[in-house]
Amino acid sequence: MNLRGTVVPIIDLRARFSMAEKQYDQFTCIVVVNVGQRVVGLVVDTVSDVLNIPNDSIADPPELASTGDTSCITGMGKLGERIVMLLDTGRLVGLDKLPGLAETAA
């Protein structure tokens, strides 16, 4: 993707987590994140909110009885009655697998 003159790699999170493909629709979004010194776009099904979670509201990630990859989950955030999983974008995008990201992220 070209974002204001900068080439930004895009990662579809459904593919990253080995989920079934889904046709892109009007709710599909690209969330732009900083990973180290680079910018990466993450394709997601939808975005419902953008939250600021205080550090004292973040707990360790739970042990999940799942065969899926949970290595990118860094914690659970609580905001009011809501609980959200927090992801490590460096692990999520696989810094060691994307050319040019690993050496600029340090």
Angstrom distance (rounded) from CA 37 to CA 52: 22
pLDDT (tens digit per residue) in 43-79: 999 998 888 999 999 998 877 655 556 678 888 999 8
Find out whether 45 and 27 touch, Cβ atoms under 8 Å.
Answer: yes
How open is the CA angle 86-99-15, to the nearest 5 degrees?
Answer: 50
Under the banding of pLDDT at 50, 70 and 90, the label for residue 91 is confident
Q: What are the structural domains of the chain?
A: 2-105 (2.40.50)
What is the mean pLDDT of the segment spanning 15-22? 87
Q: What is the pLDDT of residue 69?
A: 63
Neighbour count for residue 16 (Cβ, 10 Å): 15
On average, the pLDDT of the chain sits at 81
pTM: 0.71
Examine the pLDDT at 94 and tell me if it is beyond 80.
no
Residue type, 35: V
Examine the pLDDT at 106 and tell me if it is beyond 50.
no
